[in-house]
Amino acid sequence: MKSLFLLLSLFSISGCYQKDDLENRVSKIQSMYLEYKKDFPEVRDIQAKELKKSYVFIDIRTDRERALSTIPGSISKEDFEANIEDYIDQDLVTFCTVGYRSGIYAQELMEEGHRVQNLVGGVLMWAHDGRKFIDSKGHPTKTVHVYGKNWDLLPEGFESEY
Is residue 135 very low, low, confident or very high in pLDDT (cuts 50, 70, 90)? very high
Is 147 in a helix, a strand, or coil?
A: coil
Output the pLDDT for position 41.
97
Q: Is the pLDDT of residue 60 over 50?
A: yes
Reduced to 3 states, what is the DSSP secondary structure of residue 117? strand
pLDDT of residue 18: 63
Alpha-carbon gap, residue 45 to 94, rounded angstroms: 10
* Ordered structural domains, the chain, with CATH: 2-161 (3.40.250.10)
pTM of the model: 0.86
Length of the chain: 162
**Tell me: the pLDDT tens digits for 12-23?**
444 444 667 989
Q: Which residue has the higher pLDDT, 23 or 3?
A: 23
